[in-house]
C-alpha cells in the first residue's frame, strides 16, 4: 500500500492511528517469564480453582490456535486445551505498562483516546514531531514501545477511526497497515463482514440470512434497506462501508499522572550516573506538568535492574510540587531508600501523581518597593 502523506494546505483529511497491544496481558507475562511463550497461555484463574467459574481475559497466540479467545469461559478454554497454562494476571503491572505506553504516545500528540488498557486512537494530523508521514509516526511508536517495554503492538493508519481500527486488526502481531483514501473501499469490500466492528454474535446470523458475508455485500445494499433491518446501526454501517466516519479522537479522560522514564542500553552503575539521570527526568517532568498546567502531591520512582526486576516506590507530600528542583530532591530522597547498583540499572522513571490544576501561583513580593536614586 502507498505511503500516506499529510494533507496539502486545502486538504482537510485527518491522520488517525489505532494502536493495539498484541495479546497484551499474556505478552507481559511471556516477557517476564520467557518459558511461558513455549506453552498455550491463558490469563484467567484455573477452572479447577474456581469451580468452573471465570472468564478468559486474553490468551497468547499458541492458545488461540486451539480456539481460545477473550471473554470465553475459563472452563471452555480448559476443555479446548487442557495442557494450557492458566494465570490470574497482575493488573497493577499491566496498568503500569499501559501508562508507559501512553507516555510514548504523548511524545507525538496530545490528541489521544484510550479505548481500553491496551488500545488507543491517536490523531497525528498535526503532531509534535512535525513528521509528515503518518506511517512513519506509527512505525516510530512501535519501535519505541519495543525499546521501552519489550512488547509488540499492531498499528493501523487511515483517515478515520473506523478504518484505522480495521487496519490494526488486519495484520497481527506486530503489523502496520495503511488504508489510504483511494484504497478504502476496496479494502473494506474484501473483508468478511464479521471483521466490521459492531457486527457481533447477535447481528452476524441476521447478516448471513440477508446474504451479507463481505464488505462488498454490505456496500450493495441501500441506505433505507439497512436502516429497516438494523436501525441506527444500519445507517452507521451504510456510511462506514463508504468510507464515511467523522467521529473525532476524543480526549475525554483527565490526566491523573505525568511521568517520564528512560531505558539505558548500557546499565547505570555509579551514583553520579543515577543522580544525573534523575535530574534529567525531573526537568522533563517539570516541562510536562507546565504544559498541562498541573501540580501533584505524590512522587513515584521506578527502578528496573539489568535482570529486569523492578522496584517502584512512592512518597506523598504535604504540599503540591511542580518545580524541577523539588521533583529532583524528592526523587533523590526516595532513591536513598532504594540504592543497589550491583546489578546495574536498566531503567529509571519519575512520575508525579495526585494531580490538580494550577489556578494561580503564590508569588512572594517585597512589602515595599525599594527606591532607587
Q: Give the active site residues.
A: 119
Residues in Cβ contact with 79 at an 8 Å cutoff, skipping those fewer than 6 apart = none
Distance (Å, rounded) from C-alpha 329 to C-alpha 326? 5
- Is 118 known as a binding-site position? yes
- Is 20 known as a binding-site position? yes
Q: Which residue has the cell 452476524?
A: 204
> How far apart, in Å, are the Cα atoms of 119 and each of 102, 155, 241, 271, 332?
10, 10, 23, 37, 34
**How many residues belong to the chain?**
373
Q: Which of 270, 256, 345, 344 is nearest to 301 (CA)?
A: 345
Going by their DSSP bridges, the two strands 58-59 and 41-43 should be labelled as: antiparallel
CB 262 within 8 A of CB 268: no
Q: Which of 254, 275, 18, 266 is nearest to 153 (CA)?
A: 18
CB atoms within 10 A of CB 217: 16
Q: What are phi and psi of 182, to 5 degrees?
A: -80, 0
CB 15 within 8 A of CB 6: yes
Binding residues for Mg(2+): 20, 118
Amino acid at each position: 500500500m502507498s505511503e500516506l502523506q499529510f494533507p496539502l494546505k486545502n486538504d482537510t483529511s485527518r491522520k488517525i492511528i489505532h494502536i493495539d497491544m498484541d495479546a497484551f496481558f499474556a505478552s507481559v507475562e511471556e516477557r517476564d517469564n520467557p518459558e511461558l511463550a513455549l506453552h498455550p497461555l491463558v490469563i484467567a484463574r484455573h477452572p479447577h480453582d474456581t469451580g468452573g467459574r471465570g472468564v478468559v481475559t486474553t490468551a497468547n497466540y499458541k492458545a488461540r490456535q486451539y480456539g481460545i479467545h477473550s471473554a470465553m469461559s475459563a472452563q471452555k478454554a480448559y476443555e479446548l486445551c487442557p495442557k494450557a497454562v492458566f494465570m490470574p494476571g497482575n493488573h497493577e503491572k499491566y496498568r503500569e505498562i499501559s501508562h508507559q505506553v501512553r507516555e510514548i504516545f504523548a511524545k507525538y500528540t496530545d490528541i489521544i483516546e484510550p479505548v481500553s488498557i491496551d488500545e488507543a486512537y491517536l490523531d497525528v494530523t498535526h503532531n509534535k514531531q512535525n513528521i509528515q508521514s503518518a506511517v512513519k509516526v506509527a512505525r516510530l511508536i512501535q519501535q519505541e514501545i519495543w525499546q521501552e517495554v519489550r512488547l509488540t503492538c499492531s498499528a493501523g493508519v487511515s483517515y478515520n477511526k473506523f478504518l484505522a481500527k480495521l487496519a490494526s486488526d488486519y495484520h497481527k502481531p506486530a503489523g502496520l497497515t495503511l488504508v489510504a483514501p483511494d484504497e478504502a473501499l476496496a479494502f473494506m469490500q474484501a473483508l468478511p463482514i464479521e471483521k466490521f466492528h459492531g457486527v457481533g454474535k447477535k447481528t452476524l446470523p441476521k447478516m448471513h440470512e440477508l446474504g451479507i458475508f463481505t464488505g462488498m455485500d454490505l456496500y450493495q445494499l441501500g441506505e433505507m434497506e439497512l436502516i429497516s433491518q438494523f436501525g441506527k446501526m444500519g445507517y452507521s454501517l451504510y456510511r462506514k462501508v463508504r468510507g464515511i466516519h467523522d467521529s473525532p479522537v476524543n480526549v475525554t479522560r483527565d490526566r491523573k499522572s505525568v511521568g517520564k522514564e528512560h531505558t539505558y542500553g548500557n546499565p547505570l552503575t555509579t551514583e553520579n550516573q543515577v543522580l544525573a539521570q534523575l535530574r534529567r527526568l525531573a526537568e522533563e517532568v517539570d516541562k510536562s506538568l507546565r504544559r498541562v498546567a498541573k501540580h501533584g502531591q505524590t512522587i513515584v520512582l521506578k527502578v528496573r535492574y539489568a535482570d529486569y526486576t523492578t522496584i517502584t516506590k512512592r512518597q506523598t507530600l504535604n504540599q503540591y510540587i511542580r518545580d524541577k528542583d523539588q521533583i529532583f530532591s524528592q526523587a533523590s530522597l526516595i532513591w536513598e531508600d532504594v540504592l543497589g547498583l550491583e546489578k546495574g540499572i536498566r531503567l529509571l522513571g519519575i512520575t508525579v501523581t495526585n494531580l490538580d490544576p494550577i489556578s494561580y501561583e503564590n508569588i512572594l513580593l517585597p512589602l515595599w518597593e525599594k527606591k532607587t536614586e
